Each structure stands twice: as C-alpha cells, then as structure tokens.
Amino acid sequence: MKKSIIISVCYFVLFTCIITCFLLIHPYSTTLEAATFDQVDTLQDLRLTTEDLSTQLTHIKENMASYEKTLSEIDKRLTAIDDRQEELTTLLVDYYINQLKDPTYTDIYNEEYTYYIAAESLGQIGKPAIPKLIEKLSTEDDYERALTLYALLLASQADNVKAFAGNDYIQTYLDFDSRNHPELIKIAKAWWEKYSSYF
C-alpha cells in the first residue's frame, strides 16, 4: 500500500515538474519565434536596401561614364579650337610681318595722325609676334626696321607679355632716323635675352 502511494506521489511530482517546465519554457519559445521572424524581416529589408543601392550605384556608374565621354568630347573640341586659333595667329603674324615694309599700309586717324596698321596689329597680338619681330631687326630696310622697333614696343606691353614680364617692356619708339636704330636694337635684344625662355 505504502509503495503504491509513494509511486503515486512520484508520478504527481513528475507531472507537476513537466507542467511547470512547459509553462516556463513556452513564453521564451514564443519570444524566440517572434525574434526569429523579426530577424527574417530585417534581413529581407537589408537585402532589398542592398539591391536598391546596387541599382543606384549602377545608374551612377553609367551616368559617370556618359559624363566622362561628354567631357572627353568637349576637351577634344577645345583642343581643336586652340590648335586652330594658334594656326590663325601664326598666319596673322606672318601676314603683318610681311606688311611692315609697305609704306602705304597705313591709315589716318584724327585727320592728322598716321596709323601704322601692321605694327599696331602685331602689337595687339603681343607675345606670338615678338620672336619674328626680333628676327626682323636684321632687315636692311630702314623703314621696315623702324616699324619693327615700334611693333616691339607695342607687343611687349600686351597682356600676354605682362603675364611674365610685368611692366618691363621694350623701351623703343617709332624713329625713322636710322642712325638711332643701333641703340634701339640693343635695347630690344637685351630685353629678348632676358625673357626669351618664355617663348
């Protein structure tokens, strides 16, 4: 009898323990399942966000490639324009250099002043004209030499020369008296020796 009572008590205690354990574990199980579902949702959101960022990055790369292509084309066009401008400047310099010796290549302003077209034009061109003007100093033509010295005075005061020489220009002047030319040529050549590395 006592034995059956003891067994009954043991079964009761065991059953009570099982119920208690189930009640204790069940809330954590539910929480764990909920946490697992939340993590799955979060991972899905992260995956969607990553895919969206990847798509945006692809679009950005495509746009960058398009921009680079456009910039490359613009750069080529600008280079072509620069080359063309340099070519035209060279042609203009050659043309006006050849006109220096022509005493009829002039104009009148204010009804009394002579405008020496070739020298004035070379003066406006500035830096690109100076090397050929220096070469022209050796001419045997006194009139041409006088205008060459005058053109050097003007060209050395152009902005593209002031960029490296400042206000240090070739201090010659328009003088048709050839006896004064040797001294003026010395002044021009001294300036050229000082700044020739900029050409």
pLDDT along the chain (199 residues), means of 10: 52 56 50 52 67 77 75 75 88 98 95 94 98 98 99 98 98 98 98 98
Distance CA 31, CA 77 (A): 68
Q: How far is CA 133 from the centre of its chain?
A: 33
pLDDT of residue 15: 55
Q: Does residue 173 lie within any of the structural domains?
A: yes
Q: Does residue 162 lie within any of the structural domains?
A: yes
Distance CA 189, CA 80 (A): 34
Q: Does residue 137 lie within any of the structural domains?
A: yes
Distance CA 124, CA 146 (A): 18
Identify which of 166, 132, 165 has the alpha carbon closest to the alpha carbon of residue 151: 132
pLDDT of residue 64: 77
pLDDT of residue 43: 62
What are the contacts of 190-196 at 24+ separation with CB within 8 A?
Answer: 191/156, 192/130, 192/134, 194/168, 195/164, 195/165
- The region that residue 169 occupies, defined by phi over 0 for left and psi between -120 and 50 for alpha, beta otherwise, is beta
Domain that holds residue 192: 93-198
Structural domain tally of the chain?
1
The residue written with tokens 């002579």 in the block is 114
Residue 195, token pair as written in the block? 């700044």
Q: Does residue 56 lie within any of the structural domains?
A: no
On whether the pTM is more than 0.85, the answer is: no
140 and 166 Cβ atoms separated by less than 8 Å: no
Q: Does residue 145 lie within any of the structural domains?
A: yes
Q: Does residue 47 lie within any of the structural domains?
A: no
pLDDT of residue 28: 47
Helix and strand numbers, DSSP H then E, in the chain: 6, 2
Q: Does residue 153 lie within any of the structural domains?
A: yes
Q: Does residue 62 lie within any of the structural domains?
A: no
